[in-house]
Structure 1
Amino acid sequence: MDGFKHTLESIPDGGTRRTYGTAYFDGTAWWANINGKLVGCRWLDPMQPLQGGNIVVDISNEGRGQYSALVIGGYTDQPRPSTGTVDTIIPAGVATQIVLTGADGIEYTTDRFIGSYSPGDPVYITWDAATPTVIGKIPSIATPPPAIAPPPAAVVGSGTTTLTAIGTDTFGVGGWGRWALSTQGREHIYSGTWAGTVLTGAWFYGAPRPELAGKTVTAVRFRLPRRLKAGNYNTPATVNIYAHNSSYKPRDDVARVAGPFTVTVQPNAEAQIINLPTSFGPIIAAGGGISIAGGDYVWFQSRLEDPESGKIDMDWTA
């Protein structure tokens, strides 16, 4: 409760702060649960909340101690697929449920569909309150062969590939997103040890980059975001940077397979570019990411506060 009070007090008159919570229905009305505080909100229309589902809330200070909250939507770690393929009709014949595999490779079961379908049908999907609705078959369109063969692609000798983090988080206290302001899906990044608790942070970049296959990485530039105030924040902090081999957030901590590359971060340091060893390049190109572990207790901005938190630029040659 006190944490939410401090959140309100930190918003200047006329200002708005974005925070994160979960939807809660008490049998009569929907509320936003923010750090254990049930808050009455307006809800962006149309929106179908899900009990316990993650939501994004904008809190505004209207002056004279008056505040308002607006739920602008829900969020997920990855986008919902818009297409899929029917796997099974339950029961066979007149369907009451459809089991399908989305374009993301994940299997879903739904009782919401328009029309009739058979196993193998490619379909369009829309989403309401984390539940898919099958809205139609994808028609097959024959593609005529090209009249003239295209010229061979030019061989590119060098270039730069930019990767933006699709996820950030802290592992500790038995899982991801359970420490301080990394909770409630806020994805803040901590590292080091505090009060006997060992913490590690990570940035994730998604699937491997096939365009980098066979390329030689000549430089790896990593954008370390702004250092926030945690622990001994008025003293320089040692930060150990590693490469890990997870494309997405695993169940347990990531496996750090290269490093550490150690840097010193000054108090109140703004975002800065770190030149990492080129040995990190092949690991990241294969779908890996960046982790910080050990060293001093530190806290950095998440990708939700800084969209370029953890951005990587890799120079390469063919």
Structure 2
Amino acid sequence: MDAFKHMMEAMPDGSTRRAYGTAHWDGSQWWANINGNLIGARWMDPIQPLQGGQIVVDISREGRGLFSALVLGGYTDQPRPSTGTVLTVGISEIVFTGEDGTVYTTDRFIGSYVIGDLIYITWDAATPTIIGKIPTITVTPPANTPLPPGGGDITGTQKTPATASDTWWGPGGWGSYATSVRGGEDLYSGSYYSGATTGAWFYGPANTVLAGKTIKQARFRIPARLNAGSYNSDATIHLYAHTSQSRPGGDVTRTVGPFDVTVPARYTPAGHTFTAGLSPGWVVLPDSFHAVLIAGGGISISGDPYVGFQSRLKDPESGKLEMDWSN
């Protein structure tokens, strides 16, 4: 407590210091508890404080011995997941696994859900609220729509956006490398000075729409390159199919591949077509990838050269899959 008092006394007029503490409700009002000192504070709006929850507080010395405190918000050691997959549905509670691989329980949800649904999540006072389903869209092409290369009699097209993307780096695990940290979800592959990296896109549970269907063609959208490694040179990347629905405890298990694709220097999807007849940014995956993707697997990049790609947060179509199917 003396240390906190001395810190405040040492502050010059007009200065601000950032402190970390917890929220405290005494039965009539909220306080900022900093090292055992209960500080009256203003609170950013909206904030839903949690008793004992971690908070960030800016303390300002206004002059003439006067101080003010502003609670900026709560904080966590790791970002909370924004998407997940329903595991069980009860009468008043839903159990789900977040994109971080952690299992959560909540009694806050809008709408109805079944096991396997991909969901959007928001957080209030450290409590998750399920606010909706992540759509997967089946499109039946009109009769006059030309079929893509390798097509045939197509019944529909399943379009599946990635529910998560991230980089695995051995020393730190998922989300610990370069711009993948703090929930950035950017993807890297290859070795730099700090060791080997691999990237992965995840799509959630097994695709029930495609179960028992014949896949005519699977396409994968490559997002824009990051300014990493030899950004001004072409890079031949190595795509694999992996078996994880969400981030596992270690690196993903790659079971099919590699499938090599040469990505141009300074590549952006809008500026390059990989295969004649496809929209810019898309590549056709080998048939050997189909079964793994239907079973809930994903796509991984691994091996040199060192290269980086935008996450699904920067580009919602990063790693998006399209699969043409027939009955």
Indicate the TM-score class for this superposition, using the shorter chain for normalisation. Answer: 0.5 to 0.7
2:161 aligned residue: 164
Q: What amino acid is aligned across from residue 235 of structure 2 in structure 1?
A: A
Corresponding position: 1:129 with 2:111:
no
2:209 aligned residue: 211
1:16 aligned residue: none
Distance verdict in 2 for CA 1:29–1:273, change over 3 Å? farther
2:229 aligned residue: 231
Distance verdict in 2 for CA 1:43–1:185, change over 3 Å? farther
1:118 aligned residue: none
Unaligned 5+ segments in structure 2 are 1-17, 23-30, 34-42, 57-71, 98-102, 109-121, 130-152, 270-280
TM-score normalised over the length of structure 2: 0.58
Mapping of 1:274-293 within 5 angstroms? 274-293=283-302
Following superposition, the deviation at residue 219 of structure 1 comes to 0.7
Aligned with residue 94 of structure 2, among 102, 116, 124:
102
2:196 aligned residue: 198
1:301 aligned residue: 310
Following superposition, the deviation at residue 204 of structure 1 comes to 0.3
CA contact (8 A) 1:44 1:71 kept: no
Following superposition, the deviation at residue 281 of structure 1 comes to 1.4
Q: What amino acid is aligned across from residue 316 of structure 1 in structure 2?
A: W
Between the aligned partners of 1:52 and 1:230, the Cα distance in structure 2 is 35
Between the aligned partners of 1:223 and 1:210, the Cα distance in structure 2 is 22
CA contact (8 A) 1:158 1:317 kept: yes
Deviations 1:116-159 (A, max 9, x none): xxxxxxxxxx96322369xxxxxxxxxxxxxxxxxxxxxx9721
Q: What amino acid is aligned across from residue 54 of structure 2 in structure 1?
A: Q
Q: What amino acid is aligned across from residue 51 of structure 1 in structure 2?
A: Q
TM-score normalised over the length of structure 1: 0.60
Between the aligned partners of 2:219 and 2:240, the Cα distance in structure 1 is 13
Following superposition, the deviation at residue 85 of structure 1 comes to 3.5
Between the aligned partners of 1:181 and 1:161, the Cα distance in structure 2 is 30
CA contact (8 A) 1:202 1:292 kept: yes
Following superposition, the deviation at residue 52 of structure 1 comes to 8.2
Between the aligned partners of 1:80 and 1:287, the Cα distance in structure 2 is 12
SS at match of 1:104: strand
Following superposition, the deviation at residue 103 of structure 1 comes to 3.9
Q: What amino acid is aligned across from residue 167 of structure 2 in structure 1?
A: T
Between the aligned partners of 1:216 and 1:309, the Cα distance in structure 2 is 25
